[in-house]
Amino acid sequence: MIRIQTPELLYLWLLIPLFFLLEYYIIRRKKEKLSKFIDNNLLEYVIPDISYGKKWTKFILLNLAFFFLVLALANPQIGTSIEKNQRKGSDIMICLDISNSMYAEDIKPNRISRAKQSINKLIDELENDRIGIVVFAGSAYIQLPITNDYGTAKTFVDMVDPSMISNQGTAIGEALNMAYNGFGEKVRNKSRSIILISDGENNEDNAFEVAEQISKENVSIHTIGLGLTEGALIPIGKKGGQVEYKKTAEGSYVMTKLNEELLKSIASKGNGVDIRANNSSIGLDNILARINKMDKNEYEAIAYKDYDSRYYIFAFISFIILLAEYFIFEKRNKYINRKFFFGR
């Protein structure tokens, strides 16, 4: 297994496009200044040694060296030994609604952001439990297979965005089925729970029947309603500094409202609890407390115990590239860096 010790340093790679823009601007300015004094057709005869091709070659090599140097500073590591042990914990699958209505801001800062914040907080409180995530809108898919790697789980939560699924809707039944299958084991474990986080709007499938069938397999389904019953507008972007909201084909604003009755019915069919979120809490802590009272499952946890740093590989690559850049001359030379290789 490979991991990056300090991944935040990789944001320095965002500087590379800026370096290219700056270099392009500098070279263009130099050409403009020269053209004021020398005709472009005469440049090759007046200044025969100038080679913009070599300048760009050196510049690209410097950026490659920077790329690998940043990677070396981030310290890639490889797992060298595996540790196996028996653990007891609960299996939890979260079904997270990512339809466009989750952009509504009746729950601050908006429904989807608040849900992600709360899921990350829930992960921080887990000990030996396993967690997986299903995202859904008009369709559903497993975003995170069930795992006890909490660091990876939080990374996947941060990646969740409504743009991941283009077809709109609220396919709750499909999401519940996928979450149940995501548990993997077909035995009746003692502690398996599904947490459905949604506003419940535009439900298009047989969510009640699915919830009832899953509950017969000793799986509890809890629901969290995100949103207010009075409704809120759905932001779709900004224009001229003003927020634009979703409209119907007729031009009227679309209101998204919490379908509390739907979520209550699903929780009832699934032998779980229904919690209505508000701006102080969305209720995941209450559900986790209920889950923790259940008998725990025994499972074998596999984790990498030791990691060896491999930063020196990328530091060496960066050094070799810098060495190559040093031996490339900016001016043309008939013996070294010939025109046919580096261009002008």
- Model confidence pLDDT, tens digit, residues 255-295: 998 999 999 999 999 999 999 988 888 888 889 888 888 77
Shared-domain flag, residues 142 and 19: no
pLDDT of residue 65: 95
- Model confidence pLDDT, tens digit, residues 1-34: 677 888 889 999 999 999 999 988 887 887 777 6
The torsion angles phi and psi of 272, rounded to 5 degrees, stand at -120, -165
pLDDT of residue 186: 59
Shared-domain flag, residues 151 and 264: yes
How confident is the model over 91-109, as a mean pLDDT? 93
Note whether residue 83 is domain-resident.
Answer: no
User: For residue 132, is pLDDT > 90?
Assistant: yes
Which tokens is 203 given? 């439900």
d(CA 257, CA 236): 17
| Banded pLDDT at 45 (limits 50, 70, 90) | low
Shared-domain flag, residues 22 and 107: no
| Banded pLDDT at 153 (limits 50, 70, 90) | very high
What CATH number does the domain containing 251 carry? 3.40.50.410
DSSP secondary structure letters along 48-92: TT--HHHHHHHHHHHHHHHHHHHHHHH-EEEEEEEEEEEEEE-EE
Shared-domain flag, residues 243 and 334: no
Note whether residue 85 is domain-resident.
Answer: no
Note whether residue 35 is domain-resident.
Answer: yes
Note whether residue 98 is domain-resident.
Answer: yes
Shared-domain flag, residues 52 and 115: no
pLDDT of residue 110: 93
Shared-domain flag, residues 31 and 145: no
Residue 192, beta-bridge partner list: 91, 219
Shared-domain flag, residues 273 and 140: yes
Shared-domain flag, residues 126 and 54: no
DSSP-derived letter for residue 8 is: G
The pTM of the full predicted model, rounded to 2 decimals, is 0.64
User: For residue 341, is pLDDT > 50?
Assistant: no
Count of all residues that appear for the chain in the document: 344
pLDDT of residue 340: 44
Q: How far is CA 301 from CA 89, 146, 155, 190, 198, in A?
A: 11, 12, 20, 17, 31
pLDDT of residue 36: 67
- What ranges in 184-326 are assigned the alpha helix state H? 207-215, 260-269, 284-292, 311-326
How confident is the model over 128-147, as a mean pLDDT? 93
Shared-domain flag, residues 104 and 36: no
Please count the structural domains in the chain: 2
d(CA 157, CA 37): 59
d(CA 135, CA 142): 6
pLDDT of residue 169: 81
User: For residue 51, is pLDDT > 60?
Assistant: yes
Mean pLDDT, the chain, rounded, equals 84
- Model confidence pLDDT, tens digit, residues 210-228: 999 999 998 999 999 998 8
pLDDT of residue 220: 94
DSSP 3-state assignment of 221? Answer: strand
More confident residue, 188 or 70: 70
Shared-domain flag, residues 120 and 267: yes
- What ranges in the chain are assigned the alpha helix state H? 15-37, 43-46, 52-74, 111-125, 150-159, 172-182, 207-215, 260-269, 284-292, 311-326, 339-342
115 in Cβ contact with 343 (< 8 Å): no
pLDDT of residue 81: 59
Shared-domain flag, residues 45 and 156: no
Percent of the chain with pLDDT over 70: 82
Note whether residue 86 is domain-resident.
Answer: no
Q: How far is CA 101 from CA 71, 173, 265, 329, in A?
A: 39, 18, 21, 58
Structural domain for 71, as ranges: 2-78+308-342
Note whether residue 204 is domain-resident.
Answer: yes
Shared-domain flag, residues 129 and 19: no
Note whether residue 84 is domain-resident.
Answer: no
Note whether residue 312 is domain-resident.
Answer: yes
156 in Cβ contact with 120 (< 8 Å): no
| Banded pLDDT at 339 (limits 50, 70, 90) | very low
